[in-house]
Amino acid sequence: MAGRNFFSPGNISAILTGTSILGFIAIGQTLVILAGSLDLSVPYVTSLTSLVAGVIMAGQTSNIVLGVVVALGVSALIGLANGLVVTLLDVHGFIATLGMGLILAGYLATNYKGSAGSAPRDFRLIGATNIGPVPVSTLIMLGCAVLVILLLRRTRIGHHLYAVGGNREVARMSGLHTTTPVVMAHVLCSVLAGMAGLLLLARLSVGSPTIGAQGGYDLMSIAAVVLGGTVLAGGKGNILGTLGGVAIFAVMDNVMGVMEVNPFLKDVVRGVVIIAAVAVYARRTAGRPPRFGRQSLGDAALQEAR
């Protein structure tokens, strides 16, 4: 790998491939953070989805559609459960999704002792096919990003999401339904994590109960979101910024690969970047008014949501 041309088509393709999985998860994480919540269950949703789809497909092309639908349905149900716990029981997203993550981790450890299932050849092509230097998986991820951008910018519920994240109490007193946007954000977050699991299945050919946790996608996605300019308290941020944060991590990993950096040192570098991201976030929000104050960042969104 040493001496490889960084700007060669093959290396550009490798960088774009590196953005796909984290990109799916970070887009979903952006939605829940914009809503003033958080999702720490995404790595386990990713692992579970790869297993559910792989077991159902069982190497048969005729089972691809069923496997995808069931896997994404399971992801959506997990997201729905997260959203309802956060909104109806008034549990902070950090605690609610941490608990869900532990439940899923226990289920995976109990029921799967190793890899399971098998992806048929036609499904594996999703993870191995390029259009020019651009992987198909990256194009799918970017397509999802465009749809989410349109959701946030052009729909009423997208405006409500910003309003609720910026100042939930003011949004409620303004007559907005504060439950629906948060639940929707959690459902979409889990579905996008499920799509990342399907992509991992396409690349690895089998489902894995540990692939999500090993990737550290919960913290990595949050770091990418913060690097992209989204405020952790909610109500301010965008998908394009998140994609920029994802690209930073993809390029960083690629450069360290070209330089043949020790894998353990890679984790150190990622940790430094995450700490730096939090420091940038702290500086950005140091002068921000209280979330439930009269000058909340959600006020502008409220005007559009009405």
| Mean local confidence (pLDDT), 83-103 | 95
9-305 belongs to which CATH class? mainly alpha
pLDDT at residue number 296 = 42
Structural domain boundaries of the chain? 9-305
pTM: 0.88
Alpha carbon distance 23, 141 (integer Å): 7
pLDDT at residue number 256 = 85
| Mean local confidence (pLDDT), 175-184 | 90
Is residue 95 scored above 90 in pLDDT?
Answer: yes
Distances (CA, A) of 294 to 231, 260, 304: 18, 52, 17
Q: Which two tokens stand for residue 298?
A: 């959600």
Burial of 74 (0-12, 13-18, 19+ CB in 10 A): buried
Alpha carbon distance 115, 129 (integer Å): 24
Q: How does pLDDT run across 24-40, given as a tens digit for each residue?
A: 999 999 999 999 999 99
pLDDT at residue number 216 = 87
Continuous segment of H or E residues that includes residue 135: strand 134-135
Alpha carbon distance 171, 19 (integer Å): 35
Most confident range, picked from 61-70, 220-229, 285-294? 61-70
